[in-house]
Amino acid sequence: MTTSQTRNRIPLDHAFLEKQLTAHGGLGPFSTIYHSDSTGSTNTDLVAAARAGAPAWSVHITEHQQAGRGRMGRKFQAPPSALLAFSVLIRPPQSALNRLGTLSLAAGLALVDVLESHEGIGLKWPNDLVCNTKKLSGILAEAVDLGDNPAIVIGVGLNVDLREDELPVAHASSLYLEGIQCDRTELAVHVLRSFYRRIRQWEDNAPELIDDYRKVCVTLGQEVRAILPGEKELLGRAVAVTDQGHLLIEDQAGMTHEMSVGDIIHLRQKDQWHYCSDPADSSETSRS
């Protein structure tokens, strides 16, 4: 990925995105890229578009998301052109619907593919991109229709250029604050290409998907506190991620608990960790 030594908040180059990412642009797999200056939520907009018949691999990317939504109903917003905020519509085969638990893991893995060369990058279960324990992104997948014509919208908000006083929570960070400076348009191209690759792996039930996820999941081996539905808590050690994407936690009594939803708090860092994974699409992209 091309990096820049200057820090700014330049709007995305929509023409370049169209050329690099859409079939009619000639160089990409996406059906359409809708770019907006501002919106409430790209997920909400694309859910409506899906119900109106929008094709698979439609993308809505915005400069300013005023009412972004995350897991557990959390809301967030950021200054214009400070995030990479987009949603993608997929229409997966029926055979993939019994693997919905690993869909958001695939989306998180797509972000790691692009940024893995930077020290400290990994995924906190289930799909939070982190750098040195600080959260960089949020991912929300929403089912529009799981009937005869399945439709799912996956939204991503990646903190690119937030300052410390703009962070939504104390444990968050941004690429800029972690010393990762990049051209947002080229970042979008690389992320969306990686996104397409990983979601297609999910649709095809490729075995390497969950294997690659385990290699970058920094929750594994950690002492954790799990916040479960109903405000229940579980203390233990994260020992495995199942093929269904569930987290296995071993408590102090040696009992293993399987967790499919909830929040995880790392109580201490592992002494060290490393990972390797398949490289993301390495196609060169540059703008004059």
Q: Which of 215, 230, 253 is the last residue of a domain?
A: 215
**Torsion angle (degrees, nearest 10) of CA 158, 164, 167, 173:** 40
Does 109 lie in the same domain as 18?
Answer: yes
pLDDT in tens, 4-49: 433 568 999 999 999 999 987 778 999 999 999 999 999 999 999 9
List the CATH number of the domain containing 179.
3.30.930.10
Per-residue H/E/C for the chain: CCECCCCCCCCCCHHHHHHHHECCCCCCCECEEEEECCECCHHHHHHHHHHCCCCCCEEEEECCECCEECHHHCEECCCCCCEEEEEEEECCCHHHHHHHHHHHHHHHHHHHHHHCCCCCEEEECCCEEEECCEECEEEEEEEEECCCCCEEEEEEEEECCCCHHHCCCCCECCCCCCCCCECHHHHHHHHHHHHHHHHHHHHHCCCHHHHHHHHHECCCCCEEEEEECCCEEEEEEEEEECCCCCEEEECCCCCEEEECCCEEEECCCCCCCCCCCCCCCCCCCCCC
Within 13 A of 123's CA, how many CA atoms are on the CB side?
29
pLDDT of residue 231: 80
- The verdict on residue 159 lying in a domain is yes
Amino acid at 275: Y
Q: How confident is the model at residue 115 (pLDDT cuts 50, 70, 90)?
A: very high
- The verdict on residue 200 lying in a domain is yes
Does 197 lie in the same domain as 122?
Answer: yes
d(CA 17, CA 236): 45
pLDDT of residue 65: 93
Question: Which structural domain, as residue segments, surrounds residue 140?
Answer: 14-215
Q: Which of 200, 215, 230 is the last residue of a domain?
A: 215
Does 80 lie in the same domain as 206?
Answer: yes
Within 13 A of 255's CA, how many CA atoms are on the CB side?
6
pLDDT of residue 275: 29
Does 251 lie in the same domain as 168?
Answer: no
Does 228 lie in the same domain as 141?
Answer: no
Does 49 lie in the same domain as 28?
Answer: yes
Distance of CA 204 to the CA centre of its chain: 19
Q: Is the pLDDT of residue 104 over 80?
A: yes
pLDDT of residue 24: 79
Q: How confident is the model at residue 147 (pLDDT cuts 50, 70, 90)?
A: confident
Amino acid at 209: L
pLDDT, the chain, mean = 88
Does 241 lie in the same domain as 168?
Answer: no
- How much of the chain, in percent, has pLDDT values that exceed 70? 86
List the CATH number of the domain containing 235.
2.30.30.100
d(CA 247, CA 261): 9
Q: Is the pLDDT of residue 283 over 50?
A: no
Does 228 lie in the same domain as 159?
Answer: no
Does 250 lie in the same domain as 144?
Answer: no
Question: What burial class does residue 254 get, using C-beta atoms within 10 Å of its C-beta: 0-12 exposed, 13-18 middle, 19+ buried?
Answer: exposed
Cβ(199)–Cβ(99) under 8 Å?
no
Domain count, the chain: 2
